[in-house]
Amino acid sequence: MANNNIIDLTDEQSLQKALIIIVEYQHNPCPPEIRKQELESLAKTMNVVVCDSIIINLKKENSQTFLGKGKVLELKEISIDKDIDLLIFEPDLAPSIQRNLEKILDICVIDRREVILQIFSDRASTKEASLQVELARLEYSLPRLTRAWTNLSRQRGGTKGNKGEGEKQLEIDRRLVLSRITKTKEELLKVKKIRDNQRKSRLNSNIPTVAIVGYTNSGKSSLLRYLSSSDIFVENKLFATLDTTSKKIKMPSHREMIFSDTVGFVSDLPHDLIESFNSTLEEATYADIILIVLDGSHPNLMGCYKTTKETLKELNCEDKPTLIMLNKCDLEINSFDRARLKALEPTLIETSVKNNINIDKVLTEIENLYSQNVDLSYFEIPNDRQDLIYYAKRNSYVIEIKYEENFVSLKTKIKDQYLGELINYKKSTPIQ
């Protein structure tokens, strides 16, 4: 690829010095101090050194440079004084503003969205995740082909050569990016088909599925790792997980359920990333139960809760049976937020995956939730058809078996294709 226009931070460049700029100019319910902290941890995850962070109150937006002339010059002075290589802005910048700022400041200017793209790009490990990130990066780069900076060094587009040459090169670059986008989409479609087939076979079985969702770094992978005694990747950094991992878990009733880990949410997740990660997030759409993991020690707990609920709404999952874990209760949880959350979500369970607090309770609750919400079938099986009871146990999710005088009553969740001979003993009304 000749020109991807996205910063590529290699190890050698890992000591890039960044200045973070949070601009307050439209009402944002999340306090700037908290947004600053989050952008700092995102920047650190991207492997840059954050030298300083500044919050700027902006009354009137400048159409060319977003900030006023005086502020831009002030930033230039700070950047020179502190030997800054990289400015990171929140909110996201329009391509033309980013270009103008880079020209005036003579250093690389990126926004939060590009930071997230970079992190996703560094972390994508499976083919699907890599393709998804590649697509988001290419789409992001398209309107930015004339940027002065890329790979933290100057690029030719728009800055060198005469105008005619620049335009010709730009057209070549545009076409290259567009054909790459088409190719990536095609490849993605193929990978998606494989995933869909895997999911289909999981859904076709009678094993209930639980999607573990929540803000990044809340403990989702830690939970699945703990439950499945596996070595799933867990890290105290944002976006440790970009792919879905599914594991069969033995529940307290000894029945099995499939738990799937998902990519973490973040507030204002760039829309193209939500779209490109849709197939991963679809795990939630198809799950029987949603398990939300919240980090109780997060400084913006209510914001994380809100973002999680909003993202689930975007995925059309808001009406699914849902359980909330208020995780990391071994750490300090803001008592005001805890009370607010409990009022909103009375069934919330305080947990610590780290110290195994209330994890069994979560599993039991999930089973309860499932049996309350699932469409059950009812059967009365003659006592001498123990083979059918055995068949039902193996091929459906049995909620209850009662041995009556003349028959065995069975309450279960079973898919039509598994009914077999059981269909002859199906009852339309629930067993009393």
Ligand X SMILES: Nc1nc2c(ncn2[C@@H]2O[C@H](COP(=O)(O)OP(=O)(O)OP(=O)(O)O)[C@@H](O)[C@H]2O)c(=O)[nH]1
Answer yes or no whether residue 240 interacts with Mg ion by CB under 5 A. yes
Select 137 or 220, whichever has its Cβ closest to Mg ion.
220
Rule CB under 6 A: which residues touch ligand X?
216-222, 234-236, 238-241, 264, 327-328, 330-331, 352-354
**From candidates 5, 169, 241, 358, binder to Mg ion by CB under 5 A:** 241
Take residue 76 and report the two structure tokens written for it: 């230039």
Check if the beta carbon of residue 412 is closer than 8 Å to that of residue 398.
yes
Select 241 or 276, whichever has its Cβ closest to ligand X.
241
Residue 211 makes CB contacts below 8 A (sequence gap 6+) with 260, 262, 283, 284, 286, 287, 289, 290, 291
Sheet with 86-90: list strands edge to edge: 49-57, 17-24, 86-90, 108-111
Select 87 or 293, whichever has its Cβ closest to Mg ion.
293
Shortest reach from residue 308's CB to ligand X, in Å: 11
How far does Cα 417 stand from its chain's mean position? 34
Shortest reach from residue 324's CB to Mg ion, in Å: 17
Chain residue whose CB lies nearest ligand X? 264
What's the one-letter identity of residue 44?
Answer: K
Residues 210-229 interacting with Mg ion (rule: CB under 5 A): 220-221
Select 129 or 369, whichever has its Cβ closest to ligand X.
129
Shortest reach from residue 119's CB to ligand X, in Å: 10
Select 50 or 294, whichever has its Cβ closest to Mg ion.
294
* Listed ranges 140-148, 234-242, 390-398, 411-419: which one lies at the site for Mg ion (CB under 5 A): 234-242
Residues 32-91 interacting with Mg ion (rule: CB under 5 A): none
Kindly provide the b/e burial profile for residues 394-410, where b requires at least 16 CB atoms within 10 angstroms of the residue's own CB: ebbbbbeeeeeeebbbb
Select 3 or 244, whichever has its Cβ closest to ligand X.
244
Give 259-263 contacts, CB < 8 A, sequence gap 24+.
259/209, 259/210, 259/212, 259/224, 259/227, 259/228, 259/291, 260/209, 260/210, 260/211, 260/212, 260/287, 261/212, 261/220, 261/221, 261/224, 261/232, 262/211, 262/212, 262/213, 262/220, 263/239
Shortest reach from residue 222's CB to ligand X, in Å: 3
Shortest reach from residue 239's CB to Mg ion, in Å: 8
Phi and psi based region of residue 420 (left: phi greater than 0; alpha: psi -120 to 50; beta: remaining): left
What residue 218 binds from ligand X, Mg ion, none (CB within 5 to 8 A, per partner kind)?
Answer: ligand X
What residue 127 binds from Mg ion, ligand X, none (CB within 5 to 8 A, per partner kind)?
Answer: none
Shortest reach from residue 212's CB to ligand X, in Å: 8
Select 260 or 327, whichever has its Cβ closest to ligand X.
327
d(CA 125, CA 337): 36
Q: Residues binding Mg ion: what is the number (CB under 5 A)?
A: 4
- Partners of 160 in the beta sheet? none
Select 233 or 407, whichever has its Cβ closest to Mg ion.
233
d(CA 432, CA 80): 79
Shortest reach from residue 212's CB to Mg ion, in Å: 9
Interaction site with Mg ion (CB under 5 A): 220-221, 240-241
